[in-house]
Amino acid sequence: MRLVSARNAGLGAAGFLFAGTVVLSATAWLLSQEQSAALNAGLKTPAGLPAVRLPDGKAPSAAEIELGKQLYFDTRLSRDRTVSCASCHDPQKGWSNGERFATGIGGKVGDRSAPTIINAAYFPLQFWDGRAQELEGQALGPIQNPIEMDLTLDELVMRLQAIPGYKKQFDAIYKDGVSADNVARAIASFERTVLSGNAPYDRYKAGDAKALSEAARRGADVFFNKAHCTACHSGPNFSDGGFHNVGIGLHGKDFKAKNFDVGREKISGLEGDRGSFKTPTLREIARTAPYMHDGSLKTLEEVVDYYDRGGNKNPWLDEELFVLKLTARQKADLVTFLKEGLSSPDYPVVRPPSLPPDPK
């Protein structure tokens, strides 16, 4: 009898906990959806895009966005004061750097390409391998990375505290003034304004048949149907936010020698993630060459040829990739769709702001 009731109690507790978790997370989800919709009223969302993610449920103020913009463009956030976020994510270069890899302080070169930060605000997981959560979780990474900006968080806070123009802004915006977390908050707030929507494709989708040229319309049909691109480049940001092995870097000598970037596997520890990288957005894709995590494809024509071949064969290749057998015209139309359809007339142009001067 006692045994039975003990069991029941155990089950009951487990059932209660389980139900409690479900109810709680469902409520949190509902709240955050409503909240972000309401709070996002203050953040301009371009046509065709949903409200951006606001992980702490709070829309940034204009002052916080402005502070973040200054920090984003400020080379004093790097050890030798030569590199800022904008060095590798340059508004003039599609918010990327136009190069295969990224060059940080002292000319040190990394081994992955710099993704655009346009619409990065829609990704819950940041970086090619998703190792950081939300923009806030990402921003302090490059500042501390020895081959990018190479500052410790203590040095970062000391430097900013010594610049009166910064200290004043932090004190006005945050209860706890200058701190590394607040640097991340401010930069993330600025990044949430770097959005691209209202592209010809959005207007076409909204009913304006003339928004796309005939070739781009045919290309859209290839993209959504025969070429199967939306298996991964889906939704308003043309990304499922997930990780896939499309075979990039998995060929030739280095692959045979098992000397390749395992991508997501390093974070998840799962062999199924070997060689998987995050699906990038395709918005403003005409501006962000070269392509892929290793910058190995120079043009969109090369990208389309690559997918047409079904990608580099490897044991972990995503099952959604296969030989497409596109005709020459379908390939050309697909490229036209990517270039014309997803480039916005409202491309986010941001000029470097004037920065608070060094103390005298």
Taking Cα atoms as reference points, which of 131, 120, 65, 70 lies closest to residue 94?
Answer: 120
Question: Where does this chain touch ligand HEC (CB under 6 A) — which range of 6-14, 35-43, 272-280, 341-349?
Answer: 272-280
Question: Where does this chain touch ligand HEC (CB under 6 A) — which range of 7-15, 38-46, 58-66, 298-306?
Answer: 298-306
Both tokens of 237, joined, read 């940001």
Question: Where does this chain touch ligand HEC (CB under 6 A) — which range of 29-37, 161-169, 225-233, 352-360?
Answer: 225-233
Work out whether 59 is an interface residue with ligand HEC (CB under 6 A): no
Among residues 54, 59, 65, 102, which is the contact residue for ligand HEC, using CB under 6 A? 102
Q: Shortest Cβ distance from residue 169 to ligand HEC (Å)?
A: 17
Total residues found in the chain within this entry? 360
Among residues 48, 60, 91, 104, which is the contact residue for ligand HEC, using CB under 6 A? 104
The residue among 5 and 225 lying less far from ligand HEC, judged by its C-beta, is: 225
Work out whether 227 is an interface residue with ligand HEC (CB under 6 A): yes
Work out whether 95 is an interface residue with ligand HEC (CB under 6 A): no
- The region that residue 7 occupies, defined by phi over 0 for left and psi between -120 and 50 for alpha, beta otherwise, is alpha
Work out whether 312 is an interface residue with ligand HEC (CB under 6 A): no
Work out whether 189 is an interface residue with ligand HEC (CB under 6 A): no
- Tokens 């890899």 sit at which residue? 101
Report d(CA 334, CA 108) in Å as an integer: 36
Q: Shortest Cβ distance from residue 288 to ligand HEC (Å)?
A: 5
The residue among 59 and 326 lying less far from ligand HEC, judged by its C-beta, is: 326
Q: Shortest Cβ distance from residue 49 to ligand HEC (Å)?
A: 15
Work out whether 180 is an interface residue with ligand HEC (CB under 6 A): no
Taking Cα atoms as reference points, which of 94, 113, 91 lies closest to residue 102?
Answer: 113
Work out whether 250 is an interface residue with ligand HEC (CB under 6 A): no
Q: What dihedral do alpha carbons 309, 314, 320, 324 form, nearest 10°? A: 10
Among residues 70, 196, 288, 330, which is the contact residue for ligand HEC, using CB under 6 A? 288
- Tokens 């802004």 sit at which residue? 169
Q: Shortest Cβ distance from residue 67 to ligand HEC (Å)?
A: 13
Report d(CA 255, CA 274) in Å as an integer: 12
Q: Shortest Cβ distance from residue 187 to ligand HEC (Å)?
A: 5
Buried b (16+ CB within 10 A) or exposed e, 152-178: eeeebbebbeebeebbebbeebbeebb
CB distance 111 to 101 below 8 Å: yes
CB distance 244 to 320 below 8 Å: yes
The residue among 48 and 307 lying less far from ligand HEC, judged by its C-beta, is: 307
Report d(CA 256, CA 252) in Å as an integer: 6
Among residues 56, 208, 254, 320, which is the contact residue for ligand HEC, using CB under 6 A? 320
Taking Cα atoms as reference points, which of 43, 35, 44, 36 lies closest to residue 61?
Answer: 43
Work out whether 356 is an interface residue with ligand HEC (CB under 6 A): no
Report d(CA 89, CA 85) in Å as an integer: 6
Report d(CA 255, CA 238) in Å as an integer: 29
Q: Which spans of this chain sit near ligand HEC (rule: CB under 6 A)?
A: 83, 85, 87-89, 102-104, 110, 112, 114-115, 117, 120, 123, 126-129, 135, 138-139, 142-143, 148-149, 187, 227-229, 231-233, 244, 246, 248, 277-280, 282, 285, 288, 291-293, 300, 303-304, 307, 318, 320-321, 334
